[in-house]
Amino acid sequence: MAMWITQLFNGLSVSSILLLIALGLSVTFGLMGVINMAHGEFIMIGSYAAYLTQNAFKELLPGRMFDAYFPVALAASFLVAFAIGYLLELLLIRHLYGRPLDSLLATWGVGLVLQQIARSIFGAPNVAVNSPSWLNGGLHVMDGIDLPYKRLFILALVAVCLAAMYLYINRSHSGRRMRAVMQNREMAACLGISTRRVDGMTFAIGSGIAGIAGCALTLIGPIGPNIGTYYIVDAFMVVVLGGVGKLIGTVLGALGIGVFNTMFEWWSTASLGKVFVFLCIVAFLQWKPKGLFAVRTRQLD
Amino acid sequence: MEDGASDWPTFAEKARKLLSEDKVATVFGGWTSASRKAMLPVFEELNGLLWYPVQYEGLESSPNIFYTGATTNQQIVPSVDYLLEQGKKKFFLLGSDYVFPRTANKIIKAQLAAKGGETVAEEYTPLGHTDYTTIIAKIKEAKPDVVYNTLNGDSNVAFFKQLKDANIAASDLTTLSVSIAEEEVKGIGPDFLAGHLVAWNYYQTTDTPENKTFVENFKAKYGADSVTSDPMEAGYTAVYLWAAAVEKAGSFDVDKVKEAAKGIEWNAPEGKVTIDGDNQHIYKTVRIGEIQPDGMIKELWNSGSPVKPDPYLKGYDWAKDLSAGS
């Protein structure tokens, strides 16, 4: 019994992590259609931003104030990834709209360059980020069931990000402009929306969210130049399964993959579990090639 | 100097370039077993000389490679014996899914079967795996006395961070790792690792006059924050051993150097090492250590004297069937 609850929680937790790494991609790939292979490297940028913030706090505000670094690191990760994303869109991505294969190769190259830059600056070995002490330990529910605070924190963080994104896309002016441009660029431009600015902003937001994911991942995983490569496949899997362009699809995609992966892994092994999940996804996409939720448009694309 | 980019075909290609175009006298390098296996045919074909500085899974002895890291009977086998002596009988084997952990665990299983231990589970995760919650749940379920950890690289970070989150400390569950040295401790954070065990031949704290100088020089060159570790020491030793062999041979010729290398002794930071002419491994002292909160490793036990390398485990009855298969 305790085992089942623990595994269910683990499944949820894995789902929340998948969702966090896929959220940014659901914007850059889902909404904008850029096959963004550098997405993993934006996660990496977020992680290193958290590392630098931590170091700054260690240097300047040691002692009790140190624990306050984490919220600052979350903001810093978002801003740094946001800025680099904006720059990348300005210099490269905007020349590649509507050319999926070129954007795939170009962003992959950018990813490699970013990895190498990180390796030159921070070195090839992993760096350590100390978690804030208020996230150590866990919630003791009953005998044999401890829910780690870090996992709960990530669940909450995902919920907040999701809510913020939903509100931004559906309720704010700039969010409406964003949707207008993504759905019908010419019409939006005719109505006086600066599509250039919207494109830049959208890509930067997607990158910024990847940065937040990177910061959160410092709590549970390694921080090194390669970490982007560990998450990129999962991120694409979630978005493709969920159906491009729909937030709810991404959420359900992450939930499905996370829970099934955890269960399969429990019954078999880590490698085999992944194989089963891939098989299920392939089978599902045969049945519904557009994923769980497809955007219905009048456009023939 | 060439970079293998952690890509196995690249290792082979660069090795070929170093040997046939740059005509180097010798090569120092390789990291994973896969990188070594990729380079091995190239070195044998072109009669090159490779010094491989990392502990590995044994069952190999190429005439063109000198192995200055530990083979299994200088790390894994004695560490399993050590754990059995401490009363740890039930082993949970956890490793990354590639050649080193698979071979190492094959050896450990045979050893446990022969010596009254028990393998309660054997789990492998893909390289770069980052979620260990399910594995940790399996560990809780299996209730082993010890987790024998052959995970590689980044997976270790995820595993130990998540182990601590699951409220399992080193005092609740013994783990022994063979791929975590001082450099890795720094990258994971000593908070997550204090109290866990490791097995190597050298630690930064190893108490020899040679090591004192080595650590001082290393810090002078790479900064006070830098740490030394077993693979670094093995690489450093390799260069001195090669130099000694070249001096003795009076030539850079590969065959002459190989001949001269037999029986060469050198006082390495880990203590005296000797090249075994038969299999081109070196005699090394085995050390079990415990990771300290400051990131250093404290030696708990050592083998007393350098152990003769035995890559095919010929001196162990229970290992008879192992070498046959490979």
Q: Using H for helix, E for strand and C for coil, what is the string for chain A?
A: CHHHHHHHHHHHHHHHHHHHHHHHHHHHHHHCCCCCCCHHHHHHHHHHHHHHHHHHHHHHCCHHHHHHHHHHHHHHHHHHHHHHHHHHHHHCHHHHCCCHHHHHHHHHHHHHHHHHHHHHHHCCCCCCCCCCHHHCCEEEEECCEEEEHHHHHHHHHHHHHHHHHHHHHHHCHHHHHHHHHHHCHHHHHHCCCCHHHHHHHHHHHHHHHHHHHHHHHCCCCCCCCCHHHHHHHHHHHHHHHHCCCCHHHHHHHHHHHHHHHHHHHHHCCHHHHHHHHHHHHHHHHHHCCCCCCCCCCCCCC
Contact B161 A224 (CB under 8 A): no
Compute the distance between CA of residue B180 and CA of residue B149 in angstroms, rounded to an integer: 9
Contact A222 B189 (CB under 8 A): no
Cβ contacts from A onto B, under 8 A:
103
State the pLDDT at residue A301.
46
The structural domain count of chain A equals 1
State the pLDDT at residue B323.
62
State the pLDDT at residue A46.
96
pLDDT digits (tens, 9 = 90+) for A168-224: 988 999 898 888 888 888 888 898 888 889 999 999 999 999 999 999 999 998 899
pLDDT digits (tens, 9 = 90+) for B153-212: 889 999 999 998 888 888 889 999 999 999 999 888 898 999 999 999 999 999 899 999
Residues of the domain holding A167: 2-287
Contact B128 A7 (CB under 8 A): no
**Nearest CA distance, B162 vs chain A (angstrom):** 6
Q: Write down all domains in chain B, each with its CATH number in brackets.
A: 8-71+229-283 (3.40.50.2300), 73-205+286-325 (3.40.50.2300)
Q: Is position A294 within any domain?
A: no
pLDDT digits (tens, 9 = 90+) for B14-72: 888 888 888 888 888 887 777 888 888 889 988 988 999 888 888 888 889 999 988 98
Confidence of residue A293 (pLDDT cuts 50, 70, 90): confident
- For residue B137, the chain A residues in CB contact (below 8 A) are 3, 6-7, 10, 266
Q: Of B130, B180, B193, which to mutate for an interface test with A (greatest number of A Cβ within 10 Å)?
A: B130
Q: Kindly tell me if the per-residue pLDDT of B249 is higher than 70.
A: yes
- Give the B window 152-191 contacts with A, CB below 8 Å: 153-158, 161-162, 164-167, 183-184, 186-189, 191
State the pLDDT at residue B5.
56
State the pLDDT at residue A136.
84
Here the CATH number for the domain that contains residue A134 is 1.10.3470
In the predicted model, what is the mean pLDDT of chain B? Answer: 88
State the pLDDT at residue A295.
65
Q: Is position A301 within any domain?
A: no
pLDDT digits (tens, 9 = 90+) for A29-73: 888 888 899 999 999 999 999 999 999 998 887 777 788 899 999
Closest CA to A41 of A25, A52, A58: A25
Compute the distance between CA of residue B142 and CA of residue A66 in angstroms, rounded to an integer: 38
Q: Kindly tell me if the per-residue pLDDT of B151 is higher than 80.
A: yes
Q: Is position A292 within any domain?
A: no
- For residue B164, the chain A residues in CB contact (below 8 A) are 136
Closest CA to A151 of A4, A2, A15: A15
Element (H, E) at A190: helix A185-190
Side chain identity at B165, as an amino acid letter? D
